[in-house]
Amino acid sequence: MRRLLQFARDHIILVLSAKFMAGLVIGFGLGVYFLPILTAEKGLSETELAELTSTAQAQTQLRQGIFVRDIEGSDRFHWGDGTIYVSDARIWLDGSIAPGPDYRLYLTKGQYTTKDSFLAAKSDALQIAPIKAYKNFSIDVPDGLDISDYDAVIIWCEAFSAFITSASLR
DSSP per residue, 37-67: HHHPPP---HHHHHHHHHHHHTSS-EEEEEE
Domains of the chain by residue range: 1-39, 46-168
pLDDT of residue 35: 67
pLDDT of residue 113: 96
pLDDT of residue 155: 98
pLDDT of residue 15: 79
One-letter amino acid identity for 14? L
Can you give the pTM of this predicted structure? 0.79
pLDDT of residue 135: 95
Mean pLDDT, consecutive 10-residue stretches, the chain (170 aa), reads 79 80 81 70 85 74 92 93 94 95 95 96 97 95 93 96 96
Measured CA distances, 33 to 64, 66, 90, 102 (Å): 30, 26, 28, 11
Measured CA distances, 100 to 79, 106, 127, 164 (Å): 10, 16, 18, 9
**DSSP element (H, E) containing 31:** helix 2-39
pLDDT of residue 37: 67
